[in-house]
Amino acid sequence: MHYVCVSWTHKNTDIALREKLSLLEFSQKKLLQSLLLEKNILECMLLSTCNRVELFLYSIDPSLACKQVVKSMSKLCEINEANLSQRADFFEDSSAIHHLFSVASSLDSLVVGETQIAGQLKESFSFAIENNFCAKNLSRALHFAFKCGAKIRTQTEISKNPVSVASVAITKAKDLANLEGKDVLVLGAGQMSELLCKHLLGTKADITVLSRNYEKSKNLALALGVKNEDISKLKELVNSCEFIFCATSSKDPVITDELLEEVEFKRYFFDIAVPRDVDIKENDKVKVFVVDDLKDVVKKNLALRESEAHNAYAIIGKMTVEFFRYLDDLELNPIIKDLRLIAKDCAQKELKKAIKKGYLKNSDKEEARKLIHQVFKAFLHTPTMKLKHLEGKVQSDTVANAMRYIFALDEKAQGLDEYKCEYAVENKNEI
């Protein structure tokens, strides 16, 4: 069995292709369901963000799994199969785990050190678990990935003064003009919009938040001390604000040419949504920036974090080796064997004591041994059956580690809460 990753990111695709690949919840289910119909693919999970669309799989034949993913994505997204295959990066086993750990640690992000990816990965994992798309094997990998990310955040300064796509967009805007006193519109009321507003507060801009979900945008505006307007004011605000930042989850463009009117000042649109929110023609008074246009600012960020990234990759390498060593130690059959050996050893010791103290005659030794063996065999029957029943299930790692600890098969209580994944998934309905 093999771990596999098929990846389309900002490194190998442009925003136009990632936009076509981005999948809403219903399509995600459809894709993952279709993949699990393939006998070759045993578990799967999809990570879809503004900068990446990646499939993590557990499969029998990794080469075939990659072809099946490309074929399914091509059919669902209506993209040429050969083009998808040519653009994709394929990872297998140790390289797949190393890549997953790099993603979880934000080393593979457009903005190295950004903190959003961990939450996005946990959301994707929760979605896959809740819909039975992944089980024991991907769960093991994901929880190790979260542990790796946490270790890198605490042992390096990769996330010191954390940045994000939102902060990079604001930095780009500040390079264009002094935002103090400028009318700025933030379209959307989700996590990205909140980050945009928080970074904008330091510029002393005149901020207005607008979303189709009025209550959500109202609460965001109240929390941050900025203005809030109803969706009916969209056209008015688009034509009165110099800077417009868009970060909604709409599958269709929110700002189109029909909304725009001629104005005397220059307007800058920052579209950090995928699929894109802005579909307008540029001219000398209208400039649109998308995620891929922020790479010059990102390069500066990467240079500043290069030494810390080197330290982080060293941790990822060690954690990858540790993960596969961990898998080797998790088989249930050795636990069953060890339990029986412990029982046998215990029986022999107690039998020897009983004969020495005169509780049993030496001539009765063989019969007593057979009786004790039958007693332990009967006693261990239920635990043995329970352990065998757990093979292939998500809970098996937790139970296996508990058994190792309780019966002193391992001195450490490793992984007793291995599947505890505390992450509050927020409702992200936006405009």
* 50 labeled binding residue: yes
* 68 labeled binding residue: no
For residues 374 and 380, give the distance between their C-alpha atoms in angstroms, rounded to a whole number.
10
* 49 labeled binding residue: yes
* 154 labeled binding residue: no
Question: Of the listed 5, 50, 148, 246, which one is catalytic?
Answer: 50
Longest dimension (CA), the chain: 110
* 33 labeled binding residue: no
* 193 labeled binding residue: yes
* 189 labeled binding residue: yes
Tokens of 39: 């006998």
* 22 labeled binding residue: no
Give the 3-state secondary structure of the chain: CEEEEEEEECCCCCHHHHHHHCCCHHHHHHHHHHHHCCCCEEEEEEEECCCEEEEEEEECCHHHHHHHHHHHHHHHHCCCHHHHHHHCEEEECHHHHHHHHHHHCCCCCCCCCCCHHHHHHHHHHHHHHHCCCCCHHHHHHHHHHHHHHHHHHHHCCCCCCCCCHHHHHHHHHHHHCCCCCCEEEEECCCHHHHHHHHHHHCCCCEEEEECCCHHHHHHHHHHHCCEEECHHHHHHHHCCCCEEEECCCCCCCCEEHHHCCCCCCCEEEEECCCCCCEECCCECCEEEEEHHHHHHHHHHHHHHCHHHHHHHHHHHHHHHHHHHHHHHCCCHHHHHHHHHHHHHHHHHHHHHHHHHCCCCCHHHHHHHHHHHHHHHHHHHHHHHHHHHHCCCCCCHHHHHHHHHHHCCCCCCCCCCCCCCCCCCCCCCCCC
Chain-centroid distance of CA 25 in Å reads 15
* 72 labeled binding residue: no
* 115 labeled binding residue: yes
Active site residue 50: yes
* 52 labeled binding residue: yes
* 51 labeled binding residue: yes
Tokens of 143: 């929880």
* 242 labeled binding residue: no
For residues 204 and 170, give the distance between their C-alpha atoms in angstroms, rounded to a whole number.
12
Burial of 310 (0-12, 13-18, 19+ CB in 10 A): exposed
* 190 labeled binding residue: yes
For residues 215 and 237, give the distance between their C-alpha atoms in angstroms, rounded to a whole number.
19
* 114 labeled binding residue: yes
> Residue 58 pairs with which residues in a beta bridge?
3, 43
For residues 169 and 193, give the distance between their C-alpha atoms in angstroms, rounded to a whole number.
11
Q: Which residues are catalytic?
A: 50
Binding-site annotation, residues: 49-52, 109, 114-116, 120, 188-193
Binding-site annotation, residues for substrate: 49-52, 109, 114-116, 120
Binding-site annotation, residues for NADP(+): 188-193
